Amino acid sequence: MAVVPVAGSRAAGRGVRRSTRRAVPCSAAVTTTEPPASDEAARTRAIGLGYGVAAYVTWGILPLYFKLLREVPALQTLAHRIVWATVLLAAVITWRRSWRSGYDDVRRAGAWRFIPTTVLLSCNWLVYIWSVNSGRVLEASLGYFVTPLVNVGLGVWLLHERLSRTAGIAVAIAAVGVAVLVIGTGTLPWIPFALAGSFGTYGLLRKRIAVAPVPALLVETALMVPLAAGYLLGRPAEAAAFGVTPQIDGLLLASGAVTAFPLIWFGHAARRVQLTTLGVLQYLSPSMSFVMAVTLFGEPFGLWHAIAFGLIWTSLAVFGLDAARRR
């Protein structure tokens, strides 16, 4: 190790007397001003948390957005969402200059593998838009509350994953909650089943396709564009929603942004925060939808709803604690 002497040699005609003082390592003599690595990691987590909150809050307020389009048929809203999301995603990839890498990833993965995910995603979007326009936001929020438990069930059923005893109890509690809702209201809540089933299966299939979120979503929306554009162009002029009022036109054009940007923000969050953090944040959007359904939209929330939601929230708490303990 190099050293810095504290007392130098001295020669004065009578010979050289060697210094006997201790040498100090250079590392001790130099003061670093670089910030600790922990500060940089904390800053990265904070940025990721901000992106995650932005994504889930945007998804949480989507009922307000679609309520403004309640006069537009759900199929028209879906078609515009597909077309304008495709345009915006293509612009994002152009700005990032990632056409080549995205194309290579899709070619390696196999474009045909996006066909089932495209069908599932379009069905999920259509059911959600219809549920909001039909005044059934409460049922839609229930669907996204139980989606994590559906993911567990799909993993056990299709991937033969082992389910812990605690997680099994959580799934059983949620099943009781749904049964209470069916018996108490006398109707089968098909909207939660459709949303949770389609999105859970979509996530399972997408997990097996090694393509980044933005180019993957572009492929899925692009596959839907021919049908969406054909539907819009084939409608009579008097039945078209676009071009009626500037407000409706602006909202339909914005459907691309409310589709693409939350996904991009979520991608940034997923790279910066722990999965446990994302696991907590995922309940932010259905919670916001639940509150809006009861307080703003005046949807009925009786005793049976309270019992059912209470059981489902209990199951989610049990499931979350079990997952945190295992990590």
Does 31 fall in a domain?
A: no
Q: What is the pLDDT of residues 232-277, one digit of tens each?
A: 888 765 556 666 688 888 999 999 999 999 988 988 888 888 766 7
- The answer, yes or no, to whether residue 1 has pLDDT greater than 70, is no
Does 49 fall in a domain?
A: yes
Q: Which domain holds residue 281?
A: 44-326
Three-class DSSP labels, the chain: CCEECCCCCEECCCCEECCCCCCEEHHHHCCCCCCCHHHHHHHHHHHHHHHHHHHHHHHHCHHHHHHCCCCCCHHHHHHHHHHHHHHHHHHHHHHHCCHHHHHHHHHHHCHHHHHHHHHHHHHHHHHHHHHHHCCCHHHHHHHHHHHHHHHHHHHHHHCCCCCCHHHHHHHHHHHHHHHHHHHHHCCCCHHHHHHHHHHHHHHHHHCCCCCCHHHHHHHHHHHHHHHHHHHHHHCCHHHCCCCCCHHHHHHHHHHHHHHHHHHHHHHHHHCCCCHHHHHHHCCHHHHHHHHHHHHCCCCCCCHHHHHHHHHHHHHHHHHHHHHHHHC
Does 15 fall in a domain?
A: no
What is the structure's pLDDT at 124? 94
Does 266 fall in a domain?
A: yes
What is the structure's pLDDT at 323? 73
Does 180 fall in a domain?
A: yes
Domains: count for the chain: 1
Q: What is the pLDDT of residues 287-303, one digit of tens each?
A: 999 999 999 999 999 99
Does 50 fall in a domain?
A: yes
Higher pLDDT, 218 or 171: 218
| pTM of the model as a whole | 0.80
Does 75 fall in a domain?
A: yes
Does 22 fall in a domain?
A: no
